[in-house]
Amino acid sequence: MENRIILQTDEPSERMDFTFKPGEVTVVTGPNGVGKSALLDEVTRYLNHQSDVEMFSGHRQITFQSDDVDQVGLSLANFALQLRSHPDHVNRYRNTWGEQHLKSVIKRVINCQNQSNNNMIEDFRDGVRFHDAEKNNPRAIDMINAVFSAGRLAVEIILDEGTVKARRNGAIYGIDRLSDGERAALLLVGAIVTRPKDSYIAFDEPERHLNPSISSSLISAAVRMRGDVGFIFATHDLPLIEWLRPDRIIHVRDSSIYSVAPETRRYKISLIKADEEIDEKLKYSILGSRKALLLVEGTASSEDKSLYSALYPGWNVVARGGWETLSGDVKSLRANSDFHWLKVCGIIDNDGRDHVEQLKLKDASIYSLPCPTIENLFFHKAAIVEMSKSAHEFFGEASSEEMINTFEQSVKALFLANRTEIVTRKIVWAANRLISEQKVSVDSIRGGQTKIEAVDLGKVRDSVESSFAADLDQLDPYGMLQSIPIKNTSIPSKISGFFGFPNFKNYKKAFISHIERNTPHGRSIKAALKLSLPVLPGIEE
């Protein structure tokens, strides 16, 4: 039987008609605070006047004082009458029938189980074969366990001497000892499998108390089990909506109250039909902007993570080891954006990459630092100036100008002392770039390529040595500190010492502290670094 419901829209002269019928699934969705629960309440009140409907509020009770279901205190018929007659007792603000409602579900499971067993006995007496008798009389506990299995719940429900019990790994115990998630699953699934044919059931936030890894598969399995019942869900769980494949989605954008007893609203709503995809705008409306995830190289020391977080506010910084792992993670997450709600980018060390390679990586949302590694950022010219001023203020010995002068006069000797490590890393960069340029492809073989040219590391070394010597002759210390690899050299600690710090770690801590406390020095450093660092796409997109 169809049930017609009329809702007031935000235009007083307009109304929206909905037709509900058993066997259909309706989802009410939208962001928090727009009136999803209110609309679900209103739909339930309408259905109460026309059909048999059971409502489970978002704040439903899932705990027992005991597992004695005979303590319900009301007959099931009178309990159902109370719920139908006083819908204000079960709404999104409170649930005065909490434990009694839960125990009523358990009692219904027992009654349905017993009724199915009695019906099977009658079928046997009438000569019906066992297989057919079992098929004609599905038992509630078997259905619950089938749904639990589909939802990957390890617990099993049994009937032991007339009492509903739980069984896990051979151990049998009372359902009052189930976990919150298991009790929530038993409440939801038990209510669904025991609903009368051609009735309705409404759940506000059916995923509440359920682990996200099981909620969608569990709920959708329960719904499939009862194709003769009408379902209305209010949720903003997009994976659940996609699992359910509802017949209609009512998207609530906003609402306003126009009567209080009972509360009734005018809604800004739109209807999405079963064959329509949930587009990005609706996802954004329901979930807000995608969570911004910035993957970086290494194990991300607290200082490195703090620096990236300060320079890219709103992004969640996660270290992913080497650049190949990071690159694969970024590409995989971006290629499967329908399965998560993340906005993903990566930042990697420059490591001598040329402009062409950097542009190719940028197309995959992987951005290269303007310097070899993050260590170089701590010695940007503006950072050195501000840290020298800070050191003078803190230590009160040499002036900022004196410290910078000492640094500039000593830096050439510092580069020379670390020449071997610097040149070695630059040789590796240059050699790998030459190898990459000769990467064999199907097209190159089809085109007649017959050999790969050998990389002469001696020539590579000569070129790197010559370039390094030319840089030393011109000696732009600040430029070299942004172009040479200083990681795993003594350079960071030695420069830190010029400004009164015992080591590079202490220098980094002071550096980050200025940025996090938003001191004048920190603001100047941050402004200078942001001008040279990659610009990531806006997280509001």
Q: What is the pLDDT of residue 62?
A: 59
- Among 269-278, 378-387, 446-455, which stretch is predicted with the lowest mean pLDDT? 269-278
Q: What pLDDT sits at residue 300?
A: 56
Residue 67: pLDDT band with limits 50, 70, 90: low
Tell me the H-state helices in 230-354.
238-244, 280-287, 302-311, 323-335
pLDDT in tens, 216-259: 889 999 999 999 999 999 998 878 888 888 888 888 888 888 77
Taking the alpha carbons of 199, 204, 210, 216 in that order, is the dihedral positive or negative? positive
Per-residue pLDDT at 72 exceeds 70: no
User: Among residues of the chain, what percentage have pLDDT more than 70?
Assistant: 85
Percent of the chain whose predicted confidence (pLDDT) is above 90: 32
Q: Stretch 396-418: mean pLDDT, rounded?
A: 89
- Mean pLDDT, residues 6-12: 66
pLDDT in tens, 490-529: 999 999 999 989 999 999 989 988 988 889 999 999 999 9
Angle (nearest 5°) at CA 482 between 481 and 486:
55
What pLDDT sits at residue 73? 46
- At 79-132, the pLDDT tens digits run 555 554 544 444 444 444 456 777 888 889 999 999 998 999 998 888 888 888
User: What does the pLDDT look like over 307-328, one tens digit per residue?
Assistant: 888 888 888 888 888 888 999 9
pLDDT for 444 equals 82
Q: What is the pLDDT of residue 88?
A: 47
- Rounded CA separation 464/471 (Å): 11
Q: What is the pLDDT of residue 280?
A: 61
pLDDT for residue 166: 93
Contact 264, 239 (CB under 8 A): no
Residue 404 Cα to chain centre, angstroms: 47
Average pLDDT, the chain: 83
pLDDT of residue 90: 42
Q: pLDDT grade, residue 68 (50/70/90)?
A: low
Q: Which of 301, 501, 473 is nearest to 383 (CA)?
A: 501
- pLDDT tier for residue 303 given thresholds of 50, 70 and 90: low
pLDDT value at residue 167: 94
pLDDT for position 115: 92
Q: Provide the pLDDT confidence category of residue 165 given band limits of 50, 70 and 90.
A: very high
Mean pLDDT (whole number) for 468-482? 86
What is the enclosing helix (H) or strand (E) of 294?
A: strand 291-296
Tell me 175's DSSP state. Answer: G
Output the pLDDT for position 322: 85
